[in-house]
Structure formats: structure tokens, C-alpha cells
Structure 1
Amino acid sequence: MKNRDTAEKQSMEKPAGSKPEQADVGPTYAAEALRDNEERYRLIVNTADEGIWVLDEQYLTTFVNRRMAGMLGYSRIEMEGKSLSFFLFEEDLPDYEVKTARRREGIAERYERRLRRKDGSTLWALVSATPIMDKDKHFQGSFAMYTDITERKQAEDALLESEAKYRSIFENAVEGMFQSTPEGRLISANPAMVHIFGYASPEEMISSVTNIGRQLYTNTDDRRAFMQLLEHHGITGGFESQFYRKDGSVLWGSLNVRAVKDSGGTILYYEGTLMDITARKNAEEELKKSEAKYRNIFENAVEGIFQVTADGRYMSVNPALARIHGYSSPEEMVNSVTDIAHQLYVDPSRRDELMRQMKEKGFVKGFEIMMRRKDGGLQWVSMASHAIRDVNGTVLYHEGTLEDITSRKLGDEELKQLRKTLGGTIRALSSTVETRDPGISGHQGMVSNLAVDLSRAMELPRDMIKSIEIAGLIHDIGKVSVPVEILSKPKGLTRMEYDFIKLHPQSGYEILKEAELPYPVAEIILQHHERLDGSGYPAGLKGNEILREARILAVADVVAAMLSPRPYRPAHGMDAALNEIEKNKGILYDSEVVDVCLKLFTNRGFQF
């Protein structure tokens, strides 16, 4: 513009009548106009809401505007020179090939396309693509406008998902769901509604039920009352009535319905749910009957039943509780016992412990305490109790049951003594074997100790560990049937002698199978020489056919045996013993047991 102003000024300064100077200003004006237009179009392109993408004949990017680059999360420079396919997901490439072929044929299109942003997320765009053809109609590239429709697509997907979800809810709901006209015809019914009323399909029910009031309601007055509520309030919930099923049987249903109206307030239809409460109604009826029986149960129960205040006074007790504590009647006990903690508890602090647990959990179960009878005698009881609270959570009273377990407690003491006796017997049996075979002195104890540690490391149940301990202590009990000459022979055994030795697991089983032991000791002993591949004895069992306890005992037995000398050989040593079980892990010996055993010796420093 500066040149233009200068030219105009020079023209104005020339004297009148002088010959005009021939200034060549045409090209200057044209260039400036072109630059103005380019700047204007560049501004339009770079500030457009739509993305603009220009591709050459190889579908390589020659130009994108800022909006296009921003939509994909790239800079314009990053996008230039890249193929359009670079920005697509692999599964969309076949469609891309189809559309590029159309563009080469000179066909313009409008379609939706999915693109991959720089961060890997999805951009959905509405594309208006136009081919660029030269004057001979040869394909030179394409020009496309991209409108970001990601939010719309997400909304559409969400809507489809929502529709699918609510359709799924409608189809799979446990409650019956329906729509009906104000005149009483069904418009729709879900499978649950159909099932409740005993029809084969929604179509059958909709076509069959043409008058809900007459066909479904057992009492037409209920239908009228229900409709009045709907007309007055527009919604009603928990309306209970009896209905006919297709087969004529009666059910109880609870209705929750609302009126759907148009903008003018006219009712279009009703929609709602119906829950089959027949079971609940029947239960309520049964509850009434059971309440009549409750007093009889309360009066005649073997266990004591009580209600007691938080401060320790009985509100009610049944005859059994009075009898357990030595009172002649419930009335006498309620009137006499005014301080439970000090009148009944041998240790009043146990009452405090009971109340502490009640406060923490709201209940106690199996709470064992020693109590004092009316005559001063002592007894063990087991109590279960829970708190009864009001709507605000305040404890009103406690109720529960009480059982006299004095006999059981005495039995527990006898059981402890029996187990003590059993332990002595087991040790005696173990000593018997080792007396006959001095060469294995201490072997059974070593096996038992190692097997127990293996079991604990494997976190086995307490009873299983105990059975392994006992079996380990007497696993060679069957050797009492083997002649001492064979057991103490200083040289290698003959085939016949070895076969005789191999009978000892079966012999041990025969000795113990009739014993009333609390664990499967006989079976463990029978199987402790079995091997995973079936090469063991006496039965050639394989894999999981062998008791887990026996698989543990087998590893412990091999390790202990190899670490101890025998009349016919010296001890093999720790390395040889561990090498034996590791080499045959999963072949002869249980892999888990071997791994645990290796860790016991190498990581935890196990010693016999």
C-alpha cells in the first residue's frame, strides 16, 4: 500500500498540463491483492471449526490446518508427509482401501470415519471427501473436511448401551414389569410377569388379558381402589392384592405403578412392577401359627431361654433355664436373681467380658462360663445371646439361650487323658520296633520330626499334621513281623529277604487297621513306600492315588534313612540325600514336598 500512496502523491504534485508519467503499478496491485486473498484464506482455513486435510495422489498428507492437527493431537509438521492409513486403526484399513478407490474414480463422498489420535485414543469424524482431478480427469489427490463427532458417537454408544441395559433389565428382572392402557389392556409384559401369571410368552399374555380388572383381580373392589389411588396421586407403591394365574390358582402380588401422561395431563398408559409376594404372605400366615407355637416351645425347650436387661436382671426365663440353675419355677428365678454377675457367675469379671463382646459384635455364641446353682453347686454352661435394639440403635435388652455343658467339659478332660495315654502307647510301639532293629535307632523319631516340619511349612490342617506325626513315629511297626536276623544282617539282602522286608507296610496296616485312632494312621503307614510313578510297594499306587500324608512321610523317610548308617552300609550324607529327592522330584516323590524339604535344609537350616 505504501507504493500506491507514493504513486498517488507524485501524480498530484505534477504541474497542470504536463504529460503524465507512465507508472507500471498494475502488477504491484495484483500481487498485493493476491497476498491479501491468500492471507484471508489462510486465516479462514486455520480458524475453521472443521479440520481440513489435503492428500496427494499417493494419499500422503500435503496439508492440514491447525484444527485437523489439533483434533488428532499432532502438530501440522508431524502430520505432513504421512499416509492417511498411518492415522487409522488396523481393522479399518479394508474400508479405507474401498474409499480411496472411489476417490481415484472421481467419486466424492460423505461418511463417518474412525481415526487414531497420537495418544492412541479414538477420534470419530464426519468426513466430506472430494477428489482433486486435473483437466484430463486424472486423479491428483483429495481434499476433505473433518468434523469432530466423537462426543456424538460416545453419546450414541452410551444410548445404545443404556437401551441394551434397560432392555436386559426388562427381560431379566425378577419382578414382573408391564405397561397397560387406562381401559385395562396390557401393552407389554416382561418374561418375569409372564412367568408369575403362568403364561407361555409375553405375546400370549398380552393377547389373552383384555380386561385386567375382571381377568386378573380376584376382588374387583381392589382394582377400583387401586385405580382411584392412581388417578388421585399419579403413582402408588406397595399396593397388595390377590390375582388369578392362568390356571386359576391365586397369588399375592405387590404393585408399584405410575401414570404416564402427555403434556396436557392426559393419561397415556400405566407402567409399573409386580412382585410375587405369595411366599411372604404365606410366611406371614405361618408366622402367626408359629407365634402360637412359640410359647409351647419356650415352655418345653430343653435349652434355657432368657431375656435380660443390660444391667443384669432377668425379664423372662423359661422352665428349662430355671431347672438348669436349680430353681423351682421361672417366677422364682426372675424374682430371686436380681444381680446375675454376682449371684450366678463364679467369676463376675466374665460377665464384663460377655458384655464387652456383646458391645463389639452385637452378639455372642458359644460363650462358656462357670455358674453357680441355687444350691451352691457349680456347673459349666454355653451361652448364645444377642442385643435387641430400638430404631435408634439403643439396646433394649438381650435375649438368648443357655446350655448345660458340664458333662461335655468332663468328657473333654477324659479325652485329654485319653490322648495322653495314646501318646504313651505310640512311643511304646516305636520303642518296640527299634529294640528289634537297633540299626534304625531313632529313625522313626527323625522321620516324624521332619515330616511334621514339612507339614507345617505346607500350612496343612492341625489334624493332618497330628496324623503325620503319629504315623512317622510308628511307620516301621510292621517290621515286628520281620525276623531279627534279616533286620540286623550286616551284608546286603537277598532278593527273598528284600521281598520279606517289603511286606512291612502291609503288616503295619494289619496291626493298626482295627485300632480306634482319630486319624488315618494305618492307611498312611500302608502307603509310605508307594511312589508317584507306581514303582513303589505294596500296591503300586500312582500320583494322587497316594494319600498326601503318605507322600510327605515318604520324602521324610528317604532323607532320614540316607542320613543314618545301617548294618550293611555307612550313612550317605546330606548332599546325597537331598540330591536323591531333587533328582527324582515329580518321578518318585511329590514335587511340592521335595521343594519344601530342600528349603527347610538349605534356607532354614533344619537339623534333626
Structure 2
Amino acid sequence: MTERTSGSPEKGRLPSRPRETEKIISDLENTIAEQKALVEVLSSAYQRYRDVVEHLPVFVCSFSPDGTLTYVNESLAAYVGVPAEKLRGSCFYSFLSPESGKKTAEAIASLTVDNPVCVVEEEVLLPDGTRRWLQWIDRAVFDEKGALVSCHSVGRDISDIKKAQAECAQERDLFMTLVSSLRDGVNILDGTLTITYANPTQESWYAHAMPLVGKKCYEAFQGRKTPCENCPALTTLATGKAASETVVRRGPDGSIVGWLDLRTYPLVDSATGKMTGVVKHVRDITNERRAAELLAQNGKEMRKLWQEAPIAYHILDEHGTILDVNRKEQELLGYAREEMVGRPIFDFVLPEQRKDARQRFAEKLRGKHVPPSRDRIYVTKDGRHIFVSIRDTIERNGTTVRVRSQMTDVTRERALEEDLRRSQRALREMVEGMAKAIIRILELRDPYTAGHQRRVTQLCGAIARRLSLPERRTEILRLAASLHDIGKIYVPAELLSRPGILLPQERLLVNHHAELGKHIIIDVGLPAEVATIIAQHHERMDGSGYPAELQGEDIVLEARILAVADVTEAMQSHRPYRPAHSLNEALDEIRSQAGVRYDREVVEACLAVFSEGFVFT
């Protein structure tokens, strides 16, 4: 038998590869099955993820580099008021104000592979005309070459936050204006005693150390390299409570030029509740201090000066008991010195105010800042009531406490204030009387509008209350409403009562009554706001009104209220050129033009007051 060559296959016999093939096929089938199961899991997970994204309480979208929206979740579509399928393919820049669009484009253009995320705040103009603010977190997606492919964004409405921030900024500006006008010094320190703010009074005292901001308080005010002993600011930072101290005021050469009453209060972050620094209120007590020093140095002579001072003074202990009182205060209250010394100062306060007076006195002794009371009433010996203003200086010497008080009779000033209020009331009554007379003249010239201005005034007042308009603005609106047709005095009476259609030049003359009314109001010296409201009460939100064809927010709110009230009442009144309409017809008219010719919010308020039972009287 011939031997086979080693390694050569045996003829007529198949190798074992079919078995291997079957195994491979089996493995492939298992792999395919596993992949199908994985696809199903992934598909199910993707669908759940999509359902979650669609109904998240936040807004989700994707867009291409040119701003074209490629995906919008249902929350965003519902917010905008446009179906998601219509939003996809549109450019989101069309919803932004020009300024917001510019800032957003710049922010997106600045994104890089290394810095792919930005946060933008956008002012959005919704299809219904409202303006809202949205905050977006944008994440850019780049291709392998670093080119921007798309952006994915998550957003939320921050309109209320922006409004609150604006109101806070306004309140802060008002606060800073008030602080800047104070005659006392005010400065703010951070936790390291570094000055972050000083008002003009404080700066004027330390002009030689300017600029104050950025320096340590002890460096700027005392020329020291370390904090002062018994520093009240450090006490406040350590305890979180108010503190006080009397300190010297130094000049450019370091010499003492005066004395200051220094009080410190914790500055607390309203958002976190944590103390961020200290507010210092500084009062110049140099004159008071020098008076006290002179009194101590000169004994009887200074006591005589104190007794004869043209200002009422008294000295109290820590319980409020009178230790001494000068002649001016004796004359002011009508009591002799021996009738006052040893008695609580509160005995001379109006009984109804004694509890408050004691409480305020105790708070002062505890170091709290207590603003002076302008309504404190003292009762004289003969029973007269006088208004006084009191300024206290607290002196501490070990355990001994003395309160030196300066009392000023402000009864005359209060009487003058009351006279001024009476004069203002009389002036208001005179204006109202004049308005009634003018209204009567108008009604005599145009009997068909009799009572029109009175009823419009009633409706304006009801709408203003519904919109929570401030009291003064409501009064101005009511005055303008009562006189809104005053310009018709210059319009011939036959035009006002003609039953036929007016000629173009006649219509132009009638339409001119709003502008004429404005000039009459200015000439008689009524507030400029009244003139503006009357001039604009025939303007319309879409610019179709007269005389200036103003639009939207260019029309003052009061004029927009007057416009709705005027039309609502006029439609229900008979005119020579048309019969009266029903209330429902009048309300249907303003409802149909809400957001077009009339302010939508005002229309809704008008409809609400009628639904609540408002009727003309």
C-alpha cells in the first residue's frame, strides 16, 4: 500500500467544517437575537425618554446653526401657543426682540469644542403680543472638524424673576437715593471691615482719606493699622446683633476734630439668610459732646447756660426717671422743676402713647436703632396737647447710664401740615366743583350726552380698582374721565346733535376735541397727567385712533381705561345718529376688539366688573 503524503487530505472524505459552520451559524443567530432584543430595549427606552421630554415642566428644543428649530417639546409648543409641528422648521430668532436676538447670536458664535455650553436670557415676543423672558442653557454639538452642527437647549420662564429683579433694583435705587441725601454718615463694610460703600456725608467728613471704598474702616477713619478697641463692627460680625460706640473723628493730621455716635447693624443676604457685612450709621455728636464736656468743666456756669438754653433738655436715668430738666422744658410743659424731677418722663406723655414710649426707650437702651417718632404727644400742666420731636444721647460710665434728651416743640409745624392738607382738600373740592360746572355746560349744549361723563367716571373707577391702580392714579383718572369731552365746548352744538352723517371737515373738527381738551386742562392749571389722558382717550392700540395715531404702550394706561369705559357707556346711550345698543352688544364690541383696538387686560377688567354686578347710577 502506498503511503499518503503527510498533511494531504484523504480522498473521498469531507473535512469536519460543516460542524464548524453550524456552530458559527448558531452563534450568529444568537447574536442577532440578542441585538434584536437590545434594539427593542433601546427603542422602548427611547420612547420612554421621549415621552418624559415631551411633558417635562421645562422647555426643550434643538436648532441648527442658523436658528432653525429641528425639535420642540410639547411644553414649549403649548407655552408659545403654536403646534410643535409648525414650530419645527421655523427660525427661533423671529420670536426674539432685536436686542435679545443679537446677544443670543453672539453667545452661540462664541461656543467652542472646549467650551460648548452657554446660558442666555432672552426676551420673547409671543404670537399673542405678550412679552416674556426665558432662560436657556445651550449645549453645542460639533463635528470631527470642529464645525458647529446643532445646539440642544433646555429653558424655563423667568419673567417673574426679571420683574422681581427690576423691582428690587428700583427699591435699591430709591434706598440709595435716600441714604445719599442723609445728613448722617452711612457706610457698608464687608466681613473683613473693608469699606464697600460710603454716602456723600461720610465722604465729606473724610475727604482727606478719599477714596474710602476699598480701604479698611480703621485705616480710613482712624489712621490705624489694626482694628479699634471695642469696635462695634467686629461685635456685630461676631454676634449678628446691633452694636454702638462713641468714637472720635480725626482730621488729616490725626488730631481729634469731633465726636461720632456710631451704630452698626448686620447686613443679611435675603436669599441665603447669611450675614455678609455690616451697615454703619454715623451721627455727628460733636456739638452735643462739646456741650456735655463744657457742662462738666464749667460746673455752675455751664449749668446756667444749660438751664437758659433756648432748647428744651432733660436728663434721665436708665429707668426713664427725670434727673434734671432745664427751664425751657419747664416752660414748654408748664411744670416747675421740683414737679418733674424724680418722676418718669412717661408721666407727661399722652396716656394712650405711654406703652409705646416705654418700649422705644427700652429698645434704645438695648442698643437698637429707633427712628424718632413724629407723633409723640406730651400733655402740659394745663391740659394742652403738644407734638414734640425728641433726640436722645445715651452715655454709659461703667454701670451708670444717663440719657440726655433734646425736646423740640413741633406743634406749629404739625398745625401747618394740617392747614396744608385742608388747603389741598379745598383745592380738590374747588376743582371738582369747576369740573361739575363744565360738565353741566357741556350737557346743556349736547343734551344727548347728559350724564355720559359721570357714568364713564364711575366705570373708570371700577376698572381701576379691578386693576389695583394706586389711589392717586385712580383719582387722576376719575378727574380726567369727568372732563374727557371738555374740548367739545369748541365744537358747534349743531354738529354734536345732528342726526345725519357729518361732512369730512365737520368730522375733523369733532375729532379735534381731544386735543382742544388737553389745552383747556393745561390752561386752567390742572395736573399734566389729566391733560395727557384726555388727549389720548380716542387713541387705539392698533394705531387706528386719533389725534396722534399712537399705538400700544405709547398710550398711557389711564387713557386705555378711559377709552374702554367711554365706548362701553356711549354704545348704551341714545344718539341723534343711531339708537342705543344693549349692554351685551356693547360688551361684545369691546370683547371682539380686545388686543386689537383696546387693551386686552383693560377689556377683561371691564367685563369682570359687569359680571360682578356693576351698574351705572
TM-score normalized by the length of structure 1: 0.48
Query: Which entry has the higher C-alpha Rg, 1 or 2?
Result: 1
TM-score normalized by the length of structure 2: 0.47
